[in-house]
Each structure stands twice: as structure tokens, then as C-alpha cells.
Structure 1
Amino acid sequence: MSTKPTASDWFVSSYSGGNNNSCVEVRFTGQTTEVRDTKNRAAGTLAFGSHRWNAFLRALRG
């Protein structure tokens, strides 16, 4: 049985450099990784499946 993610599940991405005013927040739901803009949370989220999310992280690491 899965549980619905809560607002407290969000965390600041380590790629944001610790800048809480201009960063990206991430949460893992079990089936997707969700991403949102800290300064505009009401704009919604982007959701990525694990394959896409891992490809994104590999690209960041170069």
C-alpha cells in the first residue's frame, strides 16, 4: 500500500548549491520524482519516471 506524499516530503536539491531562495525542490513518490520551483510552488510540478530522472542526473554529473 502506497502513501500519498506530503508537503514535508519536499527537499532542496543538492544541485541548488544551498541557496534556498533560488532553487529547485524535489520529492520521491515511489513511482516518480517530482520537481518544483521554490519561488513559484503554485505553478505546479514536473514528474519524471525513474529512467528519465536517472538520465537527467547522469547528464548533470557530466
Structure 2
Amino acid sequence: MTAPSQPTWITSSYSGGSGTECVEWARVEMGTLIRDSKWADGPIVRVRAEPWTTFVRSLRQGDRSTGGGAG
């Protein structure tokens, strides 16, 4: 499956309804882009496909420790 040339941004289903916690992601050829939807022109994080898949799978399984964070 080939990613479109312009990313199609999707709001995370985990984003808060208050408008203060909005994360968007977009699939691109080399992986996934992540940004703050309130700051669309701000920084974008690019994650390769394999780590992104591992992260999403861990969230679906309820494992909040994946990613090596302090919590």
C-alpha cells in the first residue's frame, strides 16, 4: 500500500474531548507522522513503521509501559 503524497491527518481516539489534548497522526511512506492538532504548523515527529506498530499494539493490549518512559 502506497501512502499519499500529502499526509491525511487523523485525530487520535485517545485525544481528550476538552480540546486540550489533541494528537493527530498520518501514515507516510517511511512510517508515521505525529503532531499536536492545536499546533498544525508546529513540530512533527516521524516514527518508522516498526516502532509505531509495536507502540500501537502495546496500547491495544493495555501495556502503557512500552517506550521506555519514566512511568
Measured at CA, do residues 2 and 54 of structure 1 come closer, stay the same or move farther in structure 2, by a change above 3 Å? Answer: closer
Decide which structure has greater helix share.
Answer: 1
**Highest Rg: 1 or 2?**
2
**Are the equivalent residues in 2 in contact too, given 1:12–1:23 (CA < 8 A)?**
yes
Structure 1: tracts of 5 or more residues without a match: none
Measured at CA, do residues 23 and 32 of structure 1 come closer, stay the same or move farther in structure 2, by a change above 3 Å? Answer: same
3-state DSSP of counterpart to 1:16: coil
Equivalence for 1:11: 10
Structure 2: tracts of 5 or more residues without a match: 63-71
CA RMSD of aligned residues (A): 2.3
Q: Give the TM-score normalised by structure 2.
A: 0.64
Q: Give the TM-score normalised by structure 1.
A: 0.71
